[in-house]
Structure 1
Amino acid sequence: MERRTTFFLALQFLLMVQLHAQNPEGLGADEEKDSFVESLFGLADRTVELLSTNRWTFIPALTYSPETRLGIGARAVKIFQTGTDSSSLANRPSSLPLTFLYTLNHQMIVTGELELWMDQNTSFLNARIEFSDYPFQFSGIGNAVFDAEPYASRYFYTHLYYEKEVARGFYLGPRYEFRTDDLYQKVPGGLLDAGTIPGSNGQRLSGLGLAVNLDRRDNIFQPRRGAYHQWSWMIFHSHLGSNFDFMQWVFDFRKYWPLPKDQVLVGQARLSLTQGEVPFQHLSMMGGSDLMRGYFEGRYRDRHAMVYQAEWRFPVYRNLRMVAFGSAGQVGREAGDFGFNGYLRWGGGIGFRYRLTEEGLQLRFDLAYGDRPAFYFGLNEVM
């Protein structure tokens, strides 16, 4: 009953804020208050401009999630376009974010990622490299979770994806992934220390795959209409240098519906399936800042996972927007385990967005409730 009441009050607050944004004349605010609000947003805009150049946006990286707690570091983001001229179709904005982060959970994360649009949007390249020293938690496999068991791992990860447009909005291409983990700290006598769970003694993964995308979004940072659907398949095998042999399929369907007064409704359905000897780090899971906000990332993990999410996005004032979101998801060892049973879990919340660049790069702050309250702070939309 308490959760329903909280959600109702949050929704009522959301509707009041939207009315405030769409009917400012009805509030009776005096000029002094308007001047203060304008000054506040002007200060925010000037701060963003101060931290930016023509090509780079420099952001003191401040993040938060239940998985990391507070993270402090630095982030540089370069937004650019390739091969543009007056006689050709402009490419979508490409991006190159570089990040160093250290969290209060003593996690160190260094990442670099290139998303490159080329040849009038007919070619796409994504390359990522990441090194982390990452204390984390393991709660077992399946729906009957155990008390969170701490462990620590140093891992290196890289991937290379390439896609080529084969029909309007349809992209096809290969992908490669490599990851190596060194679990240097485990609870003596715990679940991982027994050595019976795949991946508990570390892992080395090397795999090839294929992806098919339907991408008809009108904007890659803040889509207002269109769709983004992806099917991907990966195989990790000893012939490729992996010490675990397994396969993974991911189906990710997203749809964007424009609504009056610059509002947007977004829906997502994501299904992850695995087969073979899958290390626990690579099992299908839910939770975290992208899938089922309000649940600890990986608290629920198994061979398969299914997640549904929806968001309602609307403007508030100038570069500030708000969202209301809800989600449902579950994990299972067999595909037949999915259904409207006691293992279907729910979550929801509200969030704020502040646009940093004309292309749509933005700060994100979310308040969520799943099996516990949580909040998240980072960059860009979840979906």
Structure 2
Amino acid sequence: MNRNYLFILILSIATPALPVSAQEGWFKRFVQKTISDTTGEGKSSFRVYPTLGYAPETSVEVGLSSLLLFQAKGDTLNRLSEVAAFTFITLEGQYGIWLDNAIYGDKDKWFFLGRTRFQRFPLLYYGIGHTTPDKEPALIDANYLLFRQRVLRKIRKNLFIGPEIDYQQLYNAEFRQPEGHVYDEPLGSDGTRNIGLGLALVYDNRHNVLNVRKGFFGELSFLKYNQSVGSHHNFQGINLDIRSSHPLTKRNVLAWQVYGNFLTGNVPFNQMALMGGEMIMRGYYYGRYRDNNMLATQVEHRWLPFGFSKRFGGAVFAGAAVVGPKIGSLTPARARLSGGVGLRYLLFPKKDIYLRLDVGFTKDGPGFYLFTGEAF
């Protein structure tokens, strides 16, 4: 989902540089509590900070972001686990809550990786395929619920395997055609519910999921959605996600990712391979291009932090992606390109966690993103 964000937290970052007289009162205390990191090693950290944003389809948006960081049993030798939440409400009466988790058990015995979404938010629909029109998109206004979780067991060092479940439901849906252009209503546009069951194989030697300075993550998973378990449609998919980060110097990191979705069967429009969003192909609206298959890649250089600052850093990134009805149609000639720059702020110094503000540029224009932790 692509939103143009202006964040209150940016004001709190700048506030400590103001004269003392301008920082008195409750706002100063709130800012200091929000951006300070006083917890010791092995101790859990929890922060809540407000957000303010704007998007053409929602008008003004306000919300709260929160982040819980901890290590199993308070042991610094265990990996850093994170649970991130984001809630929002708009002046148009739209609302939602997002929850993401990457939780490692003691000595990596278990690994819980997943995300939950609930939102009442319009979905822009441009059609299916790599040549969808630039005209005004259709709008599908609906309630959307997603629950996807992997329960992984370590089978050897850094290697995990386990079941995966994906539940997605689109209900109270209304398909609104734009003036002067008519779209064929896609499968699932009047509402759909699908339950996917499958298996995930994950290799992960990262120690800090939110800011990987050195490490490799690879996931290969299979999900099957069948009417026999309550799905409205029968389809299946293979997902591929490979990420690698390489330290060039103490402050510089080069990272790359290859990401793919490959689906067959009667796939509803909202569960197709979707290009865009806050993770990959930043700058494109999430789902600007969609089809049964997608292959995407990106590379990013990060300064964490800049050499002249203890807290501010930056990034430059570029990506390419292609969607198509079959794997054979994923050719370079059909690829879309994106690129951009980002600003980083060290939110948790003792845990090396940064707040990122990215601006992605595409042929459709810029997209703005602010999240805790890197995109990949």
The question of 1:305 aligning with 2:266 is answered no
* Distance apart, 1:362 and its partner CA: 2.4
Give the CA deviation at 1:378. 2.2
Residue type matched to 2:162 in 1?
G
State yes or no: 1:187 paired with 2:176.
Answer: yes
Q: Greater CA deviation, 45-54 or 306-315?
A: 45-54
How far the C-alpha of 1:151 sits from its partner, in A, is 1.8
How many residues matched?
Answer: 343
Partners of 2:280 and 2:174 in 1: CA distance: 27
Distance 2:210 2:235 in 1: 33
Quick one: which amino acid aligns to residue 235 of structure 1?
A: K
Structure 1: 4+ residue segments shifted above 4 A: 42-49, 63-70, 188-195
TM-score normalised according to structure 2 size: 0.82
Match of 1:50 in 2: 33
Matched, 1:364 2:353: no
Equivalent in the alignment of 2:337? 346
- Aligned AA for 2:122? P
The reply on whether 1:173 has 2:159 as its aligned counterpart is no
Give the CA deviation at 1:111.
2.9
Alignment equivalent of 2:314, drawn from 307, 322, 341: 322
Q: How does 1:1-383 map to 2 (within 5 A)?
A: 39=17, 49-51=32-34, 55-62=45-52, 71-84=61-74, 90-103=77-90, 106-126=93-113, 128-146=115-133, 147=135, 148-187=137-176, 195=185, 197-314=186-303, 315-316=305-306, 317-341=309-333, 343-357=334-348, 358-371=350-363, 372-383=365-376
Match of 2:11 in 1: none
> What displacement does 1:319 show?
1.4
CA drift at 1:159:
2.6
Residues in 1 aligned to 2:339 and 2:91: alpha-carbon distance in whole angstroms: 26
Contact 1:266 1:311 in 2 (8 A): yes
CA contact (8 A) 1:67 1:296 kept: no
Report the more deviating stretch, 207-216 or 92-101.
92-101
- Between 48-57 and 149-158, the greater mean CA deviation after superposition: 48-57
The answer to whether the 8 A contact 1:66-1:374 is kept is no
TM-score by length of 1: 0.81
Distance 1:130 1:216, change over 3 A: same
Deviation at 1:128, TM superposition (A): 3.9
Structure 2 segments unaligned to the other structure (5+ residues): 1-13, 40-44
**Greater CA deviation, 215-224 or 42-51?**
42-51
CA distance in 2, matches of 1:297, 1:106: 21
1:97–1:112 CA contact under 8 A, matched in 2: yes
Is the alpha carbon distance of 1:95 and 1:370 closer, same or farther for their aligned partners in structure 2, counting shifts above 3 Å?
same
Residue 240 of structure 2 contacts residue 259 of structure 2 at CA under 8 Å; is this kept in 1? yes
Q: Contact conserved, 1:248 with 1:272, CA < 8 A, in 2? A: yes
Q: CA deviation at 1:356?
A: 1.1
Rounded Cα–Cα distance in structure 2 between residues aligned with 1:265 and 1:37: 31
Are the equivalent residues in 1 in contact too, given 2:290–2:323 (CA < 8 A)? yes
Q: Name the CA distance, whole Å, in 1 between partners of 2:213 and 2:152.
A: 23
Counterpart of 1:356 in 2: which secondary structure? strand
Whether the 8 Å CA contact 2:138–2:177 is kept in 1: the answer is no
Structure 1: gaps of 5 or more residues: 1-35
Cα distance in structure 2, aligned partners of 1:237 and 1:212 = 21
Query: Displacement, 1:179?
Result: 1.7
1:287 alignment partner AA: G
**Tell me, what secondary structure is at the counterpart of 1:83?**
helix
Partners of 1:67 and 1:297 within 8 A in 2: no
User: For each residue in 1:134-159, what CA deviation from the matched residue of structure 2 results, as whole angstroms up to 9, or x when unmatched?
Assistant: 11210000022133111201022223
Counterparts of 2:264 and 2:65, CA distance in 1: 37
- How big is the shift at 1:209? 1.2
Structure 1's 354 and 298: CA in aligned 2 closer, same or farther, altered over 3 A? Answer: same
Aligned to 1:14: none
Q: Is the 8 A contact 2:322 2:332 kept in 1?
A: no
| SS of corresponding position for 2:108 | coil
Asked whether the 8 Å contact 1:170–1:214 carries over to 2, the reply is yes
Deviation, structure 1 residue 178: 1.2
Call closer, same or farther: CA 1:285–1:220 in 2, change over 3 Å. same
Contact 2:50 2:63 in 1 (8 A): yes
Counterpart CA distance in 2 for 1:93 and 1:210 is 24
CA contact (8 A) 1:308 1:328 kept: yes
Q: CA deviation at 1:221?
A: 1.5
Provide the C-alpha distance between the structure 1 equivalents of 2:219 and 2:169, rounded to a whole number of angstroms. Answer: 26
What are the superposed Cα offsets for residues 181-226 of structure 1, whole Å, 9 maximum, x if unpaired? 114322259999865x211121011111111111112421211112
Match for 2:332: what amino acid?
Answer: F
Question: What SS class does the counterpart of residue 129 from structure 2 fall into?
Answer: coil
Q: Give yes or no for contact 1:66–1:375 (8 Å, CA) kept in 2.
A: no
Paired-residue identity, %: 28
Letter aligned with residue 358 of structure 2: D
In 2, Cα distance between equivalents of 1:230 and 1:374: 27
Larger CA deviation: 140-149 vs 69-78:
69-78
- CA deviation vs aligned residue, 1:47-70 (integer Å, no higher than 9, x gap): 654127854201113456788675
Aligned mates of 1:319, 1:143 — CA distance in 2: 40
